[in-house]
Amino acid sequence: MLPDRSGNDVYAARRREMVAQQIAARGIRSERVLEAMRTVPREEFVPENLRHLAYENSPLPIGSGQTISQPYIVAYMIDALALEGGEKVLEVGAGSGYAAAVLSRIAGVVYAIERLPELAERAAATLRRLGYDNVHVRQGDGTRGWPEHAPYDAIVVAAGGTSVPPALKEQLAIGGRLVIPVGRDNWCQELVAITRRAEDAYDEKPLAPVRFVPLISDPEPDPDR
């Protein structure tokens, strides 16, 4: 695990203030989540010209038409996974790699999928540079999951779909939890937590209205070509 770098950089005070005012004050109580958010340097995961905005509670552009989610939403979604430490986690929609880094401070190993090649490469490079060696990034279609490493104790999806991809439910361990935005369009999504109770039994709980970029599935390959 990485040492806590929060006291060793120029953004430390702003990071602690962000956690106190934007996350803890809004109801996140898990000390694991709060400490992870205090530790991971968000400024390293945004474009250099936007680093002065890294600890504002707002999404920021990261290129390719994508954004890094606001800190509270990252904390809220990770808190909803109810991690206890040491789990195997799948993240769909790695973006800049920030949420994967936060997850890695709690989980044992994180597998992160990003559909856009340029973002996947950049996220992997940033995570590698910062020493998050328990995060593995792959470019690909996140709706299909990462079956080679399944089952997962937890799955978190940072894009909104009209339904829950069957592959993700299938790759969830029994007792595991999946957190995903679901809605009929980009303006009407509900964050839901799905717990797998048995092989074919799932419980679903609505959490909060949210707005995420669309969850895009690549076309199935044509077996005749």
Helix (H) or strand (E) holding 196, with range, is strand 188-198
pTM over 0.75? The answer is yes
| Residue 30 appears among annotated catalytic residues | no
The per-residue pLDDT for 216 is 84
**How many whole angstroms separate alpha carbon 103 and alpha carbon 98?**
9
The per-residue pLDDT for 188 is 78
What is the topology classification, in CATH, of domain 58-210? Rossmann fold (3.40.50)
* SS3 of the chain: helix, strand, coil, percent, to 5: 35, 30, 35
CA-nearest of 69, 72, 137, 76 to 104 is 137
User: So where are the chain's domains?
Assistant: 58-210
What are the helix (H) ranges across the chain? 12-18, 31-39, 71-80, 98-104, 117-130, 166-170
Number of Cβ within 10 Å of residue 149's Cβ equals: 14
* DSSP track, 35-50: HHHHHS-GGGGS-GGG
The per-residue pLDDT for 184 is 79
Residue 225 in tokens: 């070509």
The per-residue pLDDT for 217 is 82
Please provide the size of the chain in residues.
225
The per-residue pLDDT for 224 is 52
109-114 and 172-185 beta bridge pairing = unpaired
CA-nearest of 138, 160, 135, 159 to 147 is 138
The per-residue pLDDT for 131 is 97
One digit per residue, pLDDT tens: the chain, 225 residues? 343 444 456 789 999 999 999 999 999 999 999 999 999 999 999 999 999 999 999 999 999 999 999 999 999 999 999 999 999 999 999 999 999 999 999 999 999 999 999 999 999 999 999 999 999 999 999 999 999 999 999 999 999 988 999 999 999 999 999 999 999 776 679 999 999 999 999 999 999 999 888 888 876 654 455
Which of 30, 58, 64, 69 is labelled catalytic?
69
The per-residue pLDDT for 3 is 38
